[in-house]
């Protein structure tokens, strides 16, 4: 194998594969290095095995970053419609699940196959460790030494270590003097403090439509009680905005006025249990438990107005303090990463290290749940490939 290339890409996930494909198709000689046994392993498990490969409504507002404007340029130059056109060219059947989320009808494997087919002509090394990188760029690996004037880092974040996640990209950033925004698990289930664990014991599997608010962001989606805490799309989304020690605000009956409902039905003399009123808004097991916990396990007529008001307030303005997150083992993504002010938003190239580009999740751009993270991987990869 010749060891001189136009560009070397490190990381064979979504961003690295797509960048390799786009640069190769522009006539560049590209070497892709992946330390794992296989390419695109996270894609294979994504979207419950069907890969939510983009979101048709993608906007910069769907991403967290210290600079909320950074992603705009790349997202505008490679859009969800562009990726969808590619999916259709490969004859992959797809469907919209909800809220613009596009999934394969078949399997996520189809997206990995698409990417590998698009990489035709590139040199790809798997099971290969990068040992040293020097300016220029000289890359020493377990499979030999390689050189290229351009180096693209697509090593992703810290989520799901068992699928090959490492902090290698962050360490390389430090080697080149680039600032990092502290990494933290995002799109991650949150855990109960002991008192809540007791209160929710036996309710794992219960789900409800809620509104979850954290750090000023509000999400109206599903909540799921787990054995360790709360999860489901509403909690995963809010977790990206949650900081340790803070509370999340939960409304378990969004769009309703529970207090008015309780008092109206009490005044009209209804002979019903409080929990029967609650079951119109909450799943039976949760309504039951809530009534027990708030001493409202009684007929509506016997409940004091102040207790009903307090219960309604708690259900609709629940300030829930999580113990923490389930960590990188369960986090769908990693927030933080290489600081965007170190990079050109047009080319993803480091200002301090010309020729060194950063794409995908390793950068401090983190999408909401719903196909946005892959769209960022494609768009940032495309932006870098245009400059290789």
Ligand X SMILES: Cc1cc2nc3c(=O)[nH]c(=O)nc-3n(C[C@H](O)[C@H](O)[C@H](O)COP(=O)(O)OP(=O)(O)OC[C@H]3O[C@@H](n4cnc5c(N)ncnc54)[C@H](O)[C@@H]3O)c2cc1C
Stretch that binds ligand X, among 89-97, 161-169, 248-256, 342-350 (CB under 6 A): 161-169
Least Å distance, CB 31 to ligand X, is 12
Q: Which of 5, 7, 8, 12 binds ligand X (CB under 6 A)?
A: 12
Q: Can you tell me the distance from the alpha carbon of 350 to that of 337, in angstroms, rounded to the nearest whole number?
A: 13
Is 343 a residue that touches ligand X (CB under 6 A)? Answer: no
Report in angstroms how near the CB of residue 46 gets to ligand X at its nearest. Answer: 3
Query: Which one of 14, 22, 206, 274 is in contact with ligand X (CB under 6 A)?
Result: 14
79-138: which residues touch ligand X (CB under 6 A)? 130
Q: Closest by alpha carbon to 237, among 247, 251, 222, 225?
A: 222
Question: CB 42 → ligand X: shortest distance, Å?
Answer: 4
- Transcribe 230-269 into DSSP letters: EESHHHHHHHTT--TT--EEEESSTT--HHHHHHHHHHTT
Please provide the size of the chain in residues.
388
Smaller CB distance to ligand X: residue 232 or 371? 371
Beta strands in 72-179 (DSSP E): 94-96, 101-104, 123-125, 130-134, 138-141, 144-147, 150-153
Please report where in the chains the tokens 């997202």 appear, as a residue.
Answer: 75
Q: Which stretch binds ligand X (CB under 6 A): 1-9, 22-30, 285-293, 354-362?
A: 354-362
Residue 152 lies near ligand X (rule: CB under 6 A): no
Neighbours of 314 (CB within 10 A): 16
Q: Show the binding pattern over residues 43-62: x = contacts ligand X (CB under 6 A), - = does not.
A: --xxx---xx----------
Query: Where in 239-298 is the site for ligand X (CB under 6 A)?
Result: none
Q: Assess 78 for contact with ligand X (CB under 6 A).
A: no
Does residue 338 interact with ligand X by CB under 6 A? no
Q: What is the DSSP string of 299-344?
A: BGGGS-HHHHHHHHHHHHSEEE---EE--TTT-SEEEEEE-GGGB-
The single residue among 11, 233, 322, 336 that binds ligand X, judged by CB under 6 A, is 11
33 or 338: CB nearest ligand X: 33
The residue among 11 and 232 lying less far from ligand X, judged by its C-beta, is 11
Among 133, 303, 308, 377, binds ligand X (CB under 6 A): 377
Task: Choose the stretch contacting ligand X; rule: CB under 6 A; options: 64-72, 259-267, 346-354, 368-376.
Answer: 368-376
Q: Which of 363, 358, 351, 355 is nearest to 388 (CA)?
A: 355
Residue span 318-337 as binding mask against ligand X, x where in contact by CB under 6 A, dash where not: --------------xx----
Which residues, numbered 164-223, are part of the site for ligand X (CB under 6 A)?
A: 164, 166, 168
Q: Which of 80, 189, 336, 371 binds ligand X (CB under 6 A)?
A: 371
- Answer yes or no whether residue 148 interacts with ligand X by CB under 6 A: no
Rg (CA), the chain: 24
Angle between helices 80-89 and 109-118 (to 10 degrees): 90
Tokens of 238: 């809010």
**Identified binder of ligand X from the candidate list 23, 31, 32, 35, rule CB under 6 A:** 35
Q: Would you say 329 and 168 are in contact if contact means Cβ atoms under 8 Å apart?
A: no
- Nearest residue to the partner ligand X, using Cβ: 13
CA 217 – CA 324 distance, rounded (Å)? 19
Pairing mode, strands 63-64 and 366-367: antiparallel
Strands (E), 105-257: 123-125, 130-134, 138-141, 144-147, 150-153, 180-186, 190-191, 207-214, 217-225, 229-231, 248-251
Among the listed ranges 9-17, 131-139, 242-250, 268-276, the one in contact with ligand X (CB under 6 A) is 9-17
Longest dimension (CA), the chain: 86
DSSP helix/strand/coil, 113? helix
CB of 53 to ligand X, least distance (A): 7
Our finding on whether 13 is near ligand X (CB under 6 A) is yes
Would you count residue 149 as binding ligand X (CB under 6 A)? no
Question: Applying CB under 6 A, which residues contact ligand X?
Answer: 10-16, 33-36, 41-42, 45-47, 51-52, 130, 154-156, 159-160, 164, 166, 168, 332-333, 360-362, 371-374, 377
């Amino acid at each position: 194998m010749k060891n001189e290339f136009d560009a070397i890409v490190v990381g064979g996930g979504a961003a690295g594969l797509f960048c390799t494909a786009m640069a190769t198709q522009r006539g560049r000689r590209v070497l892709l290095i992946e330390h794992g046994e296989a390419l695109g392993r996270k894609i294979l498990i994504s979207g419950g095995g069907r890969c939510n490969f983009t979101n048709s409504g993608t906007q910069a507002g769907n991403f967290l970053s210290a600079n909320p404007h950074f992603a705009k340029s790349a997202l505008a130059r490679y859009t969800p419609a562009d990726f969808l056109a590619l999916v259709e060219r490969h004859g992959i059947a797809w469907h919209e699940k909800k809220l613009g989320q596009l999934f394969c009808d078949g399997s996520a494997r189809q997206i990995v196959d698409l990417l590998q087919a698009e990489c035709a002509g590139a040199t790809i090394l798997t099971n290969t460790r990068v040992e040293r990188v020097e300016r220029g760029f000289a890359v020493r690996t377990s499979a030999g030494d390689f050189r290229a004037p351009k180096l693209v880092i697509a090593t992703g974040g810290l989520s799901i270590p068992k699928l090959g996640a490492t902090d290698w990209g962050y360490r390389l950033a430090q080697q080149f003097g680039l600032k990092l925004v502290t990494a933290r698990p995002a799109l991650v289930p949150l855990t109960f403090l002991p008192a809540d664990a007791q209160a929710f014991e036996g309710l794992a599997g219960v789900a409800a439509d809620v509104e979850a608010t954290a750090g000023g962001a509000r999400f109206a989606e599903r909540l799921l009680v787990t054995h360790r805490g709360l999860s489901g799309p509403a909690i995963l989304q809010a977790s990206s905005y949650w900081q340790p020690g803070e509370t999340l605000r939960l409304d378990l009956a969004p769009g309703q006025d529970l207090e008015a409902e309780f008092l109206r039905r009490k005044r009209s003399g209804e002979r019903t249990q409080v929990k029967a009123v609650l079951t119109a808004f909450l799943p039976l097991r949760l309504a039951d438990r809530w009534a027990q916990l708030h001493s409202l396990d009684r007929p509506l007529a016997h409940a004091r107005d102040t207790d009903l008001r307090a219960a309604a307030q708690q259900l609709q303005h629940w300030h829930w303090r999580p113990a923490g997150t389930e960590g990188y083992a369960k986090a769908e993504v990693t927030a933080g990463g290489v600081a965007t002010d170190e990079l050109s938003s047009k080319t993803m190239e480091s200002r301090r290290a010309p020729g060194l580009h950063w794409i995908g999740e390793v950068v401090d751009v983190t999408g909401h749940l719903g196909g946005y993270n892959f769209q960022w991987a494609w768009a940032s990869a495309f932006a870098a490939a245009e400059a290789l």
